[in-house]
């Protein structure tokens, strides 16, 4: 993927979103980004953070939906209603 082509945040995997977020944080911490670009990449960083949180919530909900029997052994999974 070219550096200046940005994929819609809602289509990114957790791994790709966190990678891009880490890159943004490093660039902002470096302090060599012009102000206007800093604002733009900060906004993208916020969107990436929200995407990562959403994906983590979904994963947590899936784990929570694993069903167990009386002895605590996993017996399957229950349907997950993710909006």
pLDDT tens profile 9-42: 999 999 999 999 999 999 999 999 999 999 999 9
Distance set, CA 8 to CA 12, 36, 48 (Å): 7, 21, 10
Task: Identify whether the C-beta of residue 9 lies closer than 8 Å to the C-beta of residue 44.
Answer: yes
pLDDT exceeds cutoff 70 at 3? no
Q: How many CB atoms lie within 10 A of CB 38?
A: 15
pLDDT exceeds cutoff 50 at 1? no
pLDDT exceeds cutoff 90 at 5? no
Task: Identify whether the C-beta of residue 18 lies closer than 8 Å to the C-beta of residue 26.
Answer: no
Assigned domain for 83 exists: no
Task: Identify whether the C-beta of residue 21 lies closer than 8 Å to the C-beta of residue 9.
Answer: no
Based on the structure, what is the number of domains in the chain?
1
Q: What is the pTM of this model?
A: 0.71
Assigned domain for 34 exists: yes
Tell me which residue range forms the domain holding 57. 9-77
């Amino acid at each position: 993927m070219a550096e200046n082509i940005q994929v819609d945040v809602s289509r990114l995997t957790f791994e790709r979103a966190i990678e891009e977020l880490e890159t943004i944080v490093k660039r902002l911490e470096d302090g060599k980004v012009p102000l206007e670009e800093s604002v733009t990449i900060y906004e993208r960083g916020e969107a990436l953070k929200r995407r990562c949180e959403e994906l983590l919530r979904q994963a947590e909900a899936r784990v929570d939906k694993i069903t167990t029997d009386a002895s605590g052994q996993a017996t399957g999974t229950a349907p997950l209603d993710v909006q």
